[in-house]
Amino acid sequence: MTPPTMLHRLAAEFIGTFWLVLGGCGSAVFAAKFLSDDISVGIGFLGVALAFGLTVLTGVYAFGTISGGHFNPAVTLGAALAKRVEWKAVPGYWAVQVIGGLVGGAIIYVIAKGKDGFQATGNMAANGYGAHSPGGYSLVAVIVTEVVLTGIFLLVILGSTDDRAPKGFAGLAIGLTLTLIHLISIPISNTSVNPARSTGVAFFNGADAPAQLWVFWLAPLIGAAIAGIAYPYLFGRTEELADRPVRDDALDADPGTDSDPHPPARV
């Protein structure tokens, strides 16, 4: 089996992040609130939460064996700190994740502008605090929420992709966790836990979304860093990984074929 090149890995991260923003934020923009003959047929918070979870679930199973299925700068940072991905891959992953998110946001914007009367400001699923929080939550409340939920998200990711975990279920665990995270925090911050997702729509939304974007980079990265550092100390690991990543054996190639001694991270 020919191992994926860095170009392959970056392409997978770009497409996966694009899909996450298009599927998750797109569902919030187009389908969360929808009236038909004055009857609400929108999917609401539950539907948006499921959409985000499903995009990650499908993305992990589709691209996880290529790039690790991060689609999130915070996940990449946590994985690097936990020694699941090599540090030299981090800048490239971050770059294509942000670009993929922006392309996803641009597609949403172009489609949404096709409806008469659409105003992007306040209607692009942007994250925010204070007056820009769906529930009016403060900056401190949003920071605490984003740090804690991103940390839990990383612990689930690292645990479900651990060599000791049941094989083949990581994508399901990760997708369901992201769904639950959104059910908790959509009213608080519109849910980020992903700087690329936040960046992808902030500039199209305008108003104060770009100015508040720093929170949705800083807080998720802090939460991910805490989890990435803590995981090996809390739960140990079966081997010293150094800079060699780990992947889910259930999604590996045929065991009878030669495998890459330095495969992409599977997180």
Neighbouring-strand partners of residue 36: 39
Distance CA(72)–CA(93), nearest Å, equals 9
Higher pLDDT, 83 or 248: 83
Q: What is the pLDDT of residues 146-181, one digit of tens each?
A: 999 999 999 999 999 998 999 999 999 999 999 999
Helix 195-205, helix 215-235: angle, nearest 10: 170
Query: CA-CA distances (angstroms) from residue 125 to 27, 47, 74, 212?
Result: 9, 14, 19, 14
Render pLDDT for 100-145 as a digit per residue (tens, 0 to 9).
Answer: 999 999 999 999 999 999 999 999 999 999 999 999 999 999 999 9
Predicted confidence at residue 266, as pLDDT, reads 55
Task: Spell out the domains of the chain, with CATH numbers in brackets.
Answer: 6-251 (1.20.1080.10)
Arithmetic mean of pLDDT over the chain: 90
Of 173, 164, 176, 186, which is closest to residue 249 (Cα–Cα)? 164
pLDDT band at 249 (very low <50, low <70, confident <90, very high): very low
